[in-house]
Structure 1
Amino acid sequence: MSQQFSRENRITQRNEFELVYRTGRRLENSHFRLYVIQRHEPTPRLGLTIPKRVGNSVVRNRLKRLIREWFRIRKQRLHALDLVIQPNALAPKLEYEELCKSLDSLIKENLSSIHKDVEGH
């Protein structure tokens, strides 16, 4: 698997976002809200929704870059998942290492239950 953040690793269509919101599991911590569903294809995908209340375009674009980098580095461990990440107003204050810890803990705490939910359906 390539280390690039390619088109196949992105959720781009509105109906795909809606599917993740409607059927996905919602996870939250003090900085992020994450929606996640299991996929049938082996590659993970990332979608980002960053509201304007998070900050101006410079702040929002910085967050997008940091979250994409987090995903790019960890995508082999996130196989077959669709993730939609929504940062909240506290997220722009995070340094990259803190952002990684926050997202890692959210995923790690819930990954086994995500797979159990999928197997149960």
Structure 2
Amino acid sequence: MLEFSKQQRLLRRIEFTRTMDAGTKVVTPHLVLIGRRNDEALSKIGFIVSKKVGSAVIRNLVKRRLREIYRTRLHKPQGLDMVVIARGLAAEADFDEVARSFHSALDRLQSRLQRPASGGKTISPVQPLS
């Protein structure tokens, strides 16, 4: 599934704030990934690139890179809402560095969301798309 349709995106402010308020955070030098479980089969992702990262040209380049990294990921998680916040180093780094950072952050997020809940119950693992 190498597409990135509107059904796979967080589009409204309420979706972003809900994810950021109730999500689990993973920090890397290039980005911050915040994720939480949703009740849908697909995962949704949204990107935030502030003016601190650079000019409009740089911000759009970073967003295009992040979208392409997610779009070409072979094993996309299911049932997650994710917000990716680009940090300043994302503008200076090359594509491969940002891709490694994104993939490691997503793997760490998935492992954190698979941990047992505080009541001793295990949370069902996030399954990759086949």
TM over 0.5: yes
Q: How many residue pairs align between the two structures? A: 119
Q: How does 1:1-121 map to 2 (within 5 A)?
A: 2-74=1-73, 76-116=75-115, 117=117, 119=123
Q: Which has the larger radius of gyration?
A: 2
Of 104-113 and 20-29, deviating more is 104-113
SS of 2:114's equivalent? helix
Of 107-116 and 28-37, deviating more is 107-116
Query: Does the 8 A contact of 1:38 with 1:81 survive in 2?
Result: yes
Coordinate RMSD, CA, aligned: 1.7
Would the alpha carbon gap of residues 7 and 41 (structure 1) be closer, same or farther in structure 2, given more than 3 Å must change? same
Displacement of 1:93: 1.0
Percentage identity across aligned positions? 27
Displacement of 1:15: 0.6
Distance in 2, matches of 1:18 and 1:75, equals 27
TM-score where L is the length of structure 2: 0.84
Displacement of 1:20: 0.3
Query: Does the 8 A contact of 1:46 with 1:84 survive in 2?
Result: yes
Query: Does the 8 A contact of 2:35 with 2:109 survive in 1?
Result: no
Of 109-118 and 89-98, deviating more is 109-118
Distance in 2, matches of 1:115 and 1:19, equals 20
Amino acid at match of 1:90: L
Distance in 2, matches of 1:52 and 1:82, equals 24
Please give the per-residue CA displacement for 1:17-48, whole angstroms capped at 9, x wherever unaligned: 11001100011011111110111111111111
Query: Does the 8 A contact of 2:24 with 2:35 survive in 1?
Result: yes
Moved over 2 A (4+): 115-118
Distance in 2, matches of 1:75 and 1:19, equals 27
Question: 1 or 2, which has the higher helix percentage?
Answer: 1
